[in-house]
Amino acid sequence: MQRSLTDYFIITLKGMAMGAADVVPGVSGGTIAFISGIYEELIDTISRVNLEALQVLRKEGLRPAWRHINGNFLLALLTGIAISVLSLARLLKWLLENEPILLWSFFFGLVLASVILVAKQIDRWRIATIAGFVIGAATAWYITTLPPMHDNGSIPFLFLAGALAICAMILPGISGAFILVLLGAYETVLGAINDKDLKTLAIVAVGAVFGLLSFSRLLKYLFQHYKNITLAVLTGFIFGSLNKIWPWKEVISSRTIGEKTITVEQSISPFQFDGNPQLLTACILAIGGFLFIYILERFAAKQS
């Protein structure tokens, strides 16, 4: 695929949006990749990082290997993600701590619009696609209600935690950090980062690489052979994850890990919220998030 510098600049902007989403716990960068139209290419690109790429590198050199793994796309996207994490993390953290209802409202509208956008890509709704949607929605909804497990620092568990967390990051709906919290590995990983425990971090990283490469191949296969059903399951997964980003929550329990507090929450009506629900502003921002995705989709349709 021949791309101009403008095309790669747009990909970098999409990477920035993915990075911003990954900073917010509960929102997956995979969702942003999906609604921005680069999800399938991202999965295909990740799956190209394999032994075949090493063989191309050894036999033909760096440039053919770079083309084989779609390196320009990957570099532009990762650059955007890095820029966003480094520049927007502080702002989003402040909003999350000081204006959580308004931030979640905007993301709720954005993700709700993405459900409609992704569902439109399904050619035909049949019993199998409807079942896939229901299963995906029920699974994501159930995951968002699970209480965190107890901490486990064994090597096999950390490997599995890394693999599952990275899968969640590229799967639309649930964030990788949220999966680490559910598995009880968040405390261990956070402590390893603070203590510079390279052994623990290496185990998690190896698990993440394994999960990323294997899961991307599975998704690529599913898109090639069962695209409608796969889209239906992913649409359901995004829809079910709306429970996690519902703006009005009630804290059931909490646990402090270092400087961070992990809370177990349940969604409640804004009229039952203990405090100022900011209902009017929240609705305006939710509509704004919805319209933002709608306008992006119309613009992309005109460009194609």
**Cα separation of 234 and 260, whole Å?**
31
Question: What does the block give as tokens for 226?
Answer: 């069962």
pLDDT, averaged across the chain: 81
The C-alpha atoms of residue 33 and residue 16 are separated, in whole angstroms, by: 11
Q: Is 20 helix (H, G, I), strand (E, B) or coil?
A: helix
Cα 113 to Cα 8, 155, 183, 203, 239: the distances in Å are 25, 40, 30, 37, 10
Stretch among 118-132, 194-208, 245-259 having the lowest mean pLDDT? 245-259
pLDDT score at 283:
94
Report helix angle 39-47 to 198-225, nearest 10. 120
Contact 14, 36 (CB under 8 A): yes
Q: Is the pLDDT of residue 147 over 80?
A: no
Phi and psi torsions of 36, nearest 5°: -95, 0
What is the helix (H) or strand (E) element at residue 192, kind and residue range? helix 186-195
Cross-strand pairs, 266: 250
Amino acid at the residue 178: F
pLDDT tens digits for 215-234?
Answer: 888 888 888 888 889 889 98
Strand partners, 254: 263
pTM exceeding 0.95: no
**Out of 17-31, 152-166, 284-298, least confident range:** 17-31
DSSP, res 255: E
The mean pLDDT of 193-211, rounded to a whole number, is 84
Percent of the chain with pLDDT over 70: 84
Q: How far apart are CA 216 and CA 7, in angstroms?
A: 24
Q: Convert 123-174 into a string of H (helix), E (strand) and C (coil).
A: CCCCHHHHHHHHHHHHHHHHHHHCCCCCCCCCHHHHHHHHHHHHHHHHCCCC
Distance CA 250, CA 231 (A): 32
pLDDT tens digits along 159-184: 888 888 887 777 766 667 667 766 76
Q: Which two tokens stand for residue 208?
A: 């993440």
Residue type at position 144: T
Residue type at position 187: E
Q: Where are the beta strands (DSSP E) in the chain?
A: 249-257, 260-267
| Closest C-alpha among 6, 5, 84, 80 to residue 42 | 80
- pLDDT of 285: 93
Rounded distance, CA 225 to CA 223, Å? 6
pLDDT tens, position by position, 74-110: 999 999 988 887 777 677 768 877 888 998 898 888 8
